[in-house]
Structure 1
Amino acid sequence: MIGVPMPSPRDSIIADLNQKLDQFFGAGKTVQEIDSGVSAEMVGYGASTHQDRLKAERAKLAPMVKAQADAGKTVAAAAAELKMRPGRVKLIAHENSFTFSAHS
């Protein structure tokens, strides 16, 4: 109506939320705490077959990369020796829990 002040949308949302909270806790329900980093189960997310295939290929290369690390080589030297990108060598090392020398 003309001349009648409109209610604040924010106030009506807050009042509705408070009413729903009162109903929730009034019914004896409790809050469920979810640990940080835990999410709901979603269909379609996670490792794909392509990612699984790439990881399997890297697992086959891991012994050669580990031999380079055990020989005391740096990531760059191992990558040059194995004709790989240094990023891939670091990823293989990370996935298989071994480290390279900081300098040779």
Structure 2
Amino acid sequence: MTTPKLASPERITVYIDPDLEDIIPTFLANRQKDLQTLRTAIAAKDFETIGILGHRMRGDGGGYGFNAISDIGGIMELAAGRRDEPAIRRQTTALEDFLARVHIIYRA
């Protein structure tokens, strides 16, 4: 039996424009709320909600400087359309891991 590989404890550094410094904490807090919504939607097999959240993350992530969130959201949106619960779970875990490890440096 193999032990699943845990996410690396290393930080993920993201460089963000200082003009966004006031709104980034709220953006990230909302992604934390999305995690709970995703877990609830997965349990209920609510693929419509999952698709909407994925679409929103895909569209918003890059605009705030978080391309990884956009990538996760895009994959999640497609997975929701296919009703691919394992893929949705993987992306939910990826989002949780990213949020736990992200380290922001504000610079122009």
TM-score using structure 2 length: 0.29
Kindly indicate which of the two structures has a greater share of residues assigned to helix: 2
TM-score using structure 1 length: 0.30
Kindly indicate which of the two structures has a greater share of residues assigned to strand: 2
- Return the index of the structure with the highest Cα Rg: 1
